[in-house]
Chain A
Amino acid sequence: MNRIRKSDGGEQRAGRARRFAALVRKESYQIVRDPSSILIAFVLPLILLFLFGYGVSLDTTRTRVGLVVEEVTPLTRDLAASFQASRYFAVVNGNDRREFEDDLVLGRVRGILVIPARFAADHAAGRHPAVQVIVDGSDPNTANFVQNYAQGTVANWERQRFTEGVGRSPAIAAEQRFWFNPELTSRNFLVPGSIAIVMTLVGTLLTSLVVAREWERGTMEAMMATPVSAAELLAGKLLPYFILGLTSMTLCVLLAVFLFGVPFRGSVAALYALSATFLMPALGQGLLISAATKNQFLASQLALITAFLPAFLLSGFLFEINSMPTVIQWITFIVPARYLIPSLQTVFLSGDIWPMFARAIAVMLLIGSVFFALAARSTRKRIG
């Protein structure tokens, strides 16, 4: 009866190892048998990856614009041809800007390019001629894009005429600054970024759900009334989901490289070092949420709002952190995904830059240890 209590350290260690193994085994059975774990760990990542691989693209190629040439001269015809040849525009020709006004409002064209009647005259007089660009200001991204690319096309055209010896030197030095590197399609950095989102789903959402489920079903209470310790309970939860997170990540990387053709220039070691570290804060946050709520519905809401959305919006994944308001920028410092995403993008697109990785790893470990400390505090062997 009292053997385990009187026993020496070796036997206690053996008991601990056996309990831990039993918990890990139980959790693994549950993962394999529960369709919702498979859904979150494998199906959802696939959907996300396909969405970012095929569906969402931040590149805008071939934007439809209306082109109005108010006075046809050899010069304006030449410029118009230059617009038509552009790989950024699908040009619809018209005679009057009013023809396109409705189209612009309805979004059938994204902008109206007007080569004004005085273009040729200005050009002949040596004034810098202007092309009017009318865009829909309610969609600022596209508006900016059309405006910039239109300017770029004009500048190109001027430079080309100059080199061909028919034009004069461009009036202003054409400092060409395209927003998106035409060589680098957005998929190449969206896919690595989405891997961070996937690990957030597994690490935080799934973990918080399964722990909360144990509270709801009363199994947590039954386990706590056995000799198992709180630390064993936590560790028994973490290891399976840690492995599941890495498996899910591996699946995503394989898809990214072999299906989407995203380059992989860094090392596998760096990839796993970064991902494994990222799972620390992700799992810690999941445990903390479930220990605090003990309810699956609340846990999923909290996980979505405090982990999934920040990983999406505040990590630099979709939105540039530098262009956020200062206060929001401060908040991003506690979002672990913000450290992982640039490093992952670097692993994929540039190669290993260890000083950068080391810093990211250090910060993620720091955030992770805070979460773990809080989670351990709230997962005592006590109820109510």
Chain B
Amino acid sequence: MTPAPDVAPFVRLTGVTKRFGAPAPALDAVDGTIAGGRITGLVGPDGAGKTTLIRLMTGLMLPDAGTVEVLGYDTRTDPASIQAAIGYMPQRFGLYEDLSVQENLDLYADLRGLPTDERTATFGELLEFTDLKRFTTRLAGKLSGGMKQKLGLACALLRKPRLLLLDEPGVGVDPISRRDLWKMVEDLTAEGIGVVWSTAYLEEAEACDHVFLFNQGRLLFTGRPQDMTERVEDRVFRVSGIEGRRREKLARLLDDEGVVDGVIQGEAIRLVMKAGLEPPSLAGNGAATAWRADVTPPRFEDAFVDMLGGGPGGRSRLAETQRTFAANEGKAVIEARGLTKRFGDFTAADNITFDIPRGQIFGLLGPNGAGKSTTFKMLCGLLKPTAGEGRVAGFDLRRDAAAARNRLGYMAQKFSLYGDLSVTQNLNFFAGVYGLSGAKSRERIELMTEIFDFRPIHDMSAKDLPLGLKQRLALACAVLHEPEVLFLDEPTSGVDPITRREFWTHINGLVEKGVTVLVTTHFMDEAEYCDRISLIYRGRSIALGSPDEMKKRVANRDLPDPTMEDAFIALVQGSEAKEAA
């Protein structure tokens, strides 16, 4: 074994193909190189092949065809040399939860053969770097998500790897920790370390030096993210000054031939147009209209959707066939009054208050573990509040939880379908659960099958469906009984942008018909689709308002046009400062 020469590239992929039984390969003939000294993003929705590619680079998995060369070694013939020179943080950080921070570090130091005389210095440096010095005796299982992530990184960095592989390090972690981590990793690249960062968040892709964009195992694009966004330069518009219902306007815009993609962005609409076309004006005839369309800097997601051939149209057949819920003079359909839930001495949700009028989308936004799901479960009547009260569709959850549940459709996190039941069986089951029977049940199931195009897959087990179809099926099951209220728990996390747009087209359509929607998400972008949001952080609601209001609240000279994530971070820091004062 000879030491590898220190020349780029760090990783060379040649025709890499990997399949796992399924007809479509998990990775299909991927070529490319990854260089040192920069952050390379592996970008794509869940199931795109990111994790598979990282595992292939660790040598823990071998390609079916093609070769993976890491630091000059072939993963087939010399995995041991690769494993001695890389740092790898798998999706759940690879920590031992019943070992303390220091014990985890010791274990990985021994496994990686860090010499004893270097330990004090290395540990000190890493603990400083990750700001974990105060917590060395704490069990890893008792750390917050962000701290676990940093410890995972520290374990991967013992013995200075030349190549650092991070598999979705940002998932479910609060945006502040995510930003901290990003900064740390950037510092590493300055020392010449190569970093591979996989992610399903497209805004993270924009920050990378170089990206590989995957969709369904195929490599769609490799290069600088700017090269990607340049493809839609001058074609992205922000339409503001919309009078009337912006969701209805969006639906009409999406059906316009020249529109490639469009989403709600707070009070405005973001449009991607075909080259050379201006957005059509839907302003009324009045001269005093505020309607305007401004060119806005393109984002990675705009280019991704453009590359996939554009988003779906604006029509939702689901909404068209849905009954209308008449306006009710601004009375709230969902009310939370001081909802509090304590588990022992831990307060999971602390005095959460908001109300949602008919036909609005309300978002609970916050990192994992902040208390979103707890609030959600109390409003579904699945969890009894320690204090406070909630009302859904006029029913008090303490007394009439069952009646309230009949009026609401619930789409759970990870689409809780019955994996061993077929598509049709799942629909039948949920129709039964929601009390549909006979002709009505058949009619609704038939309709869902048609709208969502389930016929070709009606016999497949739900667990074998690709993520996008699972999500469609979960939505179909949740709206079978034409609920007045829809609860969506992380509805589009990890799905590809086209499926996400389809999903929101349906939701927007339903909202136009008077359905009231409560959605939880840690996806900052998704918050922009809401009328109002509540920022949940450590059990408390730290801000309540429309997405635009929140962004306006934190805008300043340095940051005139903050993103939702910027707003979140600023508001959290503001609330912490207030607490400290």
Contact = CB atoms under 8 A, between A and B. Distances in A.
A225 B83 contact: yes
Given A5-B1, A382-B61, A383-B61, A222 B113 contact: no
Interface residues of B, number: 40
B103 A222 contact: no
B110 A384 contact: no
A29 interface: yes
Contacts of B20: 384
B86 interface: yes
Contacts of B155: 222
B60 A221 contact: yes
Interface in A50-100: none
A26 B107 CA distance: 7
A21 B110 contact: yes
A50 B361 CA distance: 60
Contacts of B98: 29-30, 33-34
Residue of A23, A222, A223 contacting most chain B CB atoms (<10 Å): A222
A226 B61 contact: no
A384 B59 CA distance: 12
B84 A227 contact: yes
Contacts, number: 95
A26 to B, nearest CB: 5
Nearest to B86: A225
B7 interface: no
A381 B111 contact: no
B4 to A, nearest CB: 8
A19 B111 CA distance: 5
Contacts of B162: 1
A15 B113 contact: yes
Contact of B107 (A15, A22, A227): A22
A228 interface: yes
B236 interface: no
A225 B96 contact: no
Contacts of B31: none
A30 to B, nearest CB: 5
B112 interface: yes
Interface string A206-231: 00000000000111011111111000
A124 B375 CA distance: 91
Interface in B62-115: 62, 79-81, 83-86, 88-99, 103, 106-108, 110-113
B95 A383 contact: no
Contacts of B93: 218, 222
B90 A222 contact: yes
A18 B113 contact: yes
Contacts of B377: none
Contact of A381 (B79, B92, B94, B96): B79
B73 to A, nearest CB: 11
B97 A226 contact: no
A223 B155 CA distance: 11
A26 B96 contact: yes
B60 A226 contact: no
B560 interface: no
A33 B430 CA distance: 42
Given A26-B99, A225-B86, A384-B20, A218 B92 contact: yes
Contacts of B265: none
Contact of A224 (B52, B60, B89, B110): B60
A226 B108 contact: yes
A4 B1 CA distance: 11
B3 interface: yes
Interface in A107-150: none
Contacts of A22: 106-107, 110-111
A383 B60 contact: yes
A26 B111 CA distance: 11
Nearest to B55: A383
Nearest to B94: A222
A2 interface: yes
B80 A223 contact: no
Contacts of A1: 3, 85, 162
A88 B45 CA distance: 75
A81 to B, nearest CB: 68
B111 A2 contact: no
Interface in A1-57: 1-2, 4-6, 15, 18-19, 21-23, 25-26, 29-30, 33-34
Interface string B469-488: 00000000000000000000
B58 interface: yes
Contacts of A21: 110
A5 B84 CA distance: 9
A218 B86 CA distance: 17
Contact of B55 (A19, A34, A384): A384
Interface string B131-147: 00000000100000000
Contact of B88 (A2, A29, A222, A381): A222
A182 B20 CA distance: 64
A218 B90 contact: yes
B110 A382 contact: no
A306 to B, nearest CB: 24
Given A30-B98, A383-B55, A384-B55, A227 B111 contact: yes
B574 to A, nearest CB: 35
Contacts of A5: 1, 3, 81, 84
A226 B112 contact: yes
Given A22-B106, A22-B107, A29-B103, A4 B113 contact: yes
Contacts of A18: 110, 113
Nearest to A224: B60
Contacts of B1: 5-6
A52 to B, nearest CB: 32
Given A22-B111, A217-B92, A227-B83, A2 B3 contact: yes
A222 B95 CA distance: 8
B110 A19 contact: yes
Contacts of A33: 98, 139
B88 to A, nearest CB: 4
A286 to B, nearest CB: 20
Contacts of B3: 1-2, 5-6
A5 B20 CA distance: 33
15 contacts: A4-B113, A5-B81, A15-B113, A19-B113, A21-B110, A22-B106, A222-B90, A222-B95, A223-B94, A225-B59, A225-B90, A226-B112, A227-B84, A227-B112, A383-B61
Given A218-B93, A383-B55, 19 more contacts: A1-B162, A5-B1, A5-B81, A18-B110, A23-B107, A26-B96, A29-B98, A29-B99, A30-B98, A221-B55, A222-B93, A225-B59, A225-B88, A225-B90, A226-B108, A227-B80, A227-B83, A227-B111, A228-B111
